[in-house]
Amino acid sequence: MAEQCTRISGSGDNQYATGEDFLKIFDEDLNPLYQLSFLLTGDHQKGERCFLAGIEDCAGENRVFREWARAWTKRVIVENAIRELKPRRSHSNWSSLPSVFSHHQHSSSPTRHFDADAVLGLADFERFVFVLCVLERYREHECALLLCCSASEVRDARTRAIEELASSGEVASSRYEDRKLGQLAAARMS
């Protein structure tokens, strides 16, 4: 019986991610993780600080299941960005500063439908909500817990962000236009 307990507890340690596992994740996902950090902070230097702090935090001793290590890594980057900027809901409806938009550089986030410069032009709170809820697909309540606010404040900020991006003309082509462009590209190739 004691031998069986030793065997079970000894094999249990292998299910946890090691510092090397986290470093491998940072190596494999370098660009998307840095881009997440940059989009959240809105600044290359702050983004780099959050990214490097994320590497240090993850490489330390963490009791995280190996299969959750990738999600944990993103979560550490998000938490570092929140600590860096402390984004809070503004009391005015539109508090972002005007920015210069580029129609050519698109985010490599999961949706790829928003220009990175336009997202960076959002106020901190709206940018955090947009990146977390829309690009990273966090649930409203998860985002609210991270940002220490209510789910309704997250919902309102997400709506403001999307409206601001849409009104700036930075929303990329619709699905219909994407499909049309895809059909045009396929026709050119044949």
Please report which confidence band the pLDDT of residue 88 belongs to, taking 50, 70 and 90 as the band edges. Answer: confident
Q: Is residue 175 exposed (0-12), middle (13-18) or buried (19+ Cβ within 10 Å)? A: exposed
Q: How far is CA 50 from CA 32, 36, 37, 85, 134, in A?
A: 13, 10, 6, 10, 21
- The sign one gets for the Cα dihedral 31, 32, 37, 40 is positive
- Per-residue pLDDT, 60: 81
User: What does the pLDDT average to over 20-48?
Assistant: 94
pLDDT confidence of residue 145: 96
Where are the alpha helices (H) located in 16-123, listed in sequence order?
19-28, 30-41, 44-59, 69-85, 116-120
Q: Which CATH class is domain 106-190?
A: mainly alpha
Predicted local distance difference test score (pLDDT) of residue 14 = 79
pLDDT at res. 48 = 95
Q: What is the mean pLDDT of the chain?
A: 78
pLDDT at 152 over 80: yes
Task: Between 168 and 175, name the one with better pLDDT.
Answer: 168
What is the pLDDT at residue 91?
A: 53
Q: Is the pLDDT of residue 103 over 50?
A: no
Whether pLDDT at 33 is above 80: yes
The predicted pLDDT at position 12 comes to 53
pLDDT for res 188: 52
Domain segments of the chain as ranges = 15-86, 106-190
pLDDT of residue 115: 81
Q: What is the pTM of this model?
A: 0.70
Q: Which of 96, 59, 110, 57 is nearest to 79 (CA)?
A: 57
